[in-house]
Homo-oligomer: A and B are copies of this chain.
């Protein structure tokens, strides 16, 4: 058990929260998207939350916790949905939200604290020099840049830039190690892989440098199709148009748009599948030319919608990526979801096959992205949840159809998508967190090197707080 009183004494001067209700609230992320994680993790809570104001205070927290053997789980805004920020063994939640300064902005670059909110970074870089971050999750208005790097992988913009871990999409990170005398490391180039998408298991990010792209006044467009596969093919066609600048392409199958996108319902028919897009203003005319040729119905355009029509509408990206699921859960809490990849060049055909197999049990939701230089798509389908056994069957059928699942019903790095332990991240954890105190329970390769990932069994972290 954590000696909370002693911890508080040692951390004197650093902002601490130990009100159990608030600590529990700050120990939660969006794990509850998953009925499986909800069952497993609902009781999890830290002992206290520490909110350092700067890197020096991060070093002090880690030094103290290392000396006392207290686990530390970092947290940005807690918008992850794989339980990334859940403190499985209690201890300290290290909230980096206060470290949200936005530093130097120059051509193609911005420096920021890990707690800086993505939308806030863009407000500053837009005002400074009409630039914006390349990639963002649908939680743009609440997610932190550090949390996105530590716990995210792709998002809006991935149709142009691929994933966050692709070389060039993060320029530099400062990272503090969990040792008797914590070190501050500056990582760049391929070394960035050591801590990206590692859930903070092997270092605490204290500063980021991100590349910037030009900020266009993206136009939200909803295109309707009578047939789901026509929507899918349209998404693929647009993604492969080299001269057409778009930032987001998300086909969503009927009846999901009508049933769950309540504020946009007035533009939709229940039997219509849609493609949600963000189009550069100067790409709009050629885009509409193509949409017309493909018999897509333009259901909504933010540039020509009236003020009355736009009133109360969220930006379109808040209907995409994990927000599609979120809107579904608000209407029907019994649903759940999956995350998969439909690899090139079979991506359109694997979507078709799986749609034929599952029909309305698994309504399609795709996100077109660049992946290793080709246009392919992630699947984030809604699943009409009828139990964990059936969910596992669905996963097997996806994988049998060549579509790997990044299982959002597992809290470990390996089961959540990596499929195997990242050797670089494991090696770096040995250096940077030799006592295994950072975000315990998330890296199977550290906790139990003998665990057989191919045996199909679920890893249960022995250090998980008991109910």
A residues whose Cβ falls under 8 Å from a Cβ of B: 107-109, 129-131, 134, 160-163, 166-169, 171, 188-190, 211-214, 216-217, 239-245, 280-283, 285-290, 293, 370-375
User: Closest residue to A159 on the B side, CB-wise?
Assistant: B242
Bound-state Cα–Cα, A213 to B243, Å: 11
- Given known contacts A167-B289, A189-B289, A289-B190, A282 and B107 CB-to-CB distance under 8 angstroms: yes
Chain B residues closer than 8 Å to A289, beta-carbon distance: 167, 188-190
- Which of B211, B286, B372, B373 lies in contact with A171, CB distance below 8 A? B286
Bound-state Cα–Cα, A216 to B214, Å: 10
Do residues A189 and B285 form an inter-chain contact, with CB atoms below 8 A? yes
Bound-state Cα–Cα, A240 to B167, Å: 11
Do residues B371 and A242 form an inter-chain contact, with CB atoms below 8 A? yes
Bound-state Cα–Cα, A241 to B166, Å: 7
Do residues A167 and B244 form an inter-chain contact, with CB atoms below 8 A? yes
- Which of B188, B242, B370 lies in contact with A285, CB distance below 8 A? B188
Which residue of A129, A166, A168 has the most chain B CB atoms within 10 A of its CB atom? A168
Chain B residues closer than 8 Å to A283, beta-carbon distance: 168, 211
Chain B residues closer than 8 Å to A168, beta-carbon distance: 241, 243-245, 283, 286-287
User: Closest residue to A170 on the B side, CB-wise?
Assistant: B243
Chain B residues closer than 8 Å to A240, beta-carbon distance: 372-374
Do residues A162 and B242 form an inter-chain contact, with CB atoms below 8 A? yes
14 example contacts (A-B, Cβ-Cβ < 8 A) are as follows: A129-B130, A161-B242, A162-B242, A162-B243, A163-B242, A166-B241, A166-B243, A167-B243, A168-B286, A188-B285, A189-B289, A212-B282, A240-B373, A241-B373
Do residues A281 and B107 form an inter-chain contact, with CB atoms below 8 A? yes
Bound-state Cα–Cα, A433 to B70, Å: 83
Chain B residues closer than 8 Å to A375, beta-carbon distance: 373
- Which of B169, B188, B286 lies in contact with A167, CB distance below 8 A? B286
Q: Chain B nearest CB: distance from A249 CB in Å? A: 12
Q: Chain B nearest CB: distance from A130 CB in Å? A: 8
Bound-state Cα–Cα, A103 to B318, Å: 38
Q: Chain B nearest CB: distance from A17 CB in Å? A: 37
- Given known contacts A281-B107, A282-B109, A285-B171, A242 and B372 CB-to-CB distance under 8 angstroms: yes
Q: Chain B nearest CB: distance from A283 CB in Å? A: 5
- Further 7 A-B residue pairs, CB within 8 A, beyond A168-B241, A242-B370: A108-B280, A108-B281, A161-B242, A161-B243, A190-B289, A213-B214, A373-B375
Chain B residues closer than 8 Å to A244, beta-carbon distance: 166-168
- Given known contacts A216-B108, A243-B161, A243-B162, A282 and B211 CB-to-CB distance under 8 angstroms: yes
Chain B residues closer than 8 Å to A107, beta-carbon distance: 130, 216-217, 281-282
Chain B residues closer than 8 Å to A161, beta-carbon distance: 242-243
Which residue of A134, A167, A375 has the most chain B CB atoms within 10 A of its CB atom? A167
Which residue of A131, A162, A241 has the most chain B CB atoms within 10 A of its CB atom? A241
Q: Chain B nearest CB: distance from A295 CB in Å? A: 15
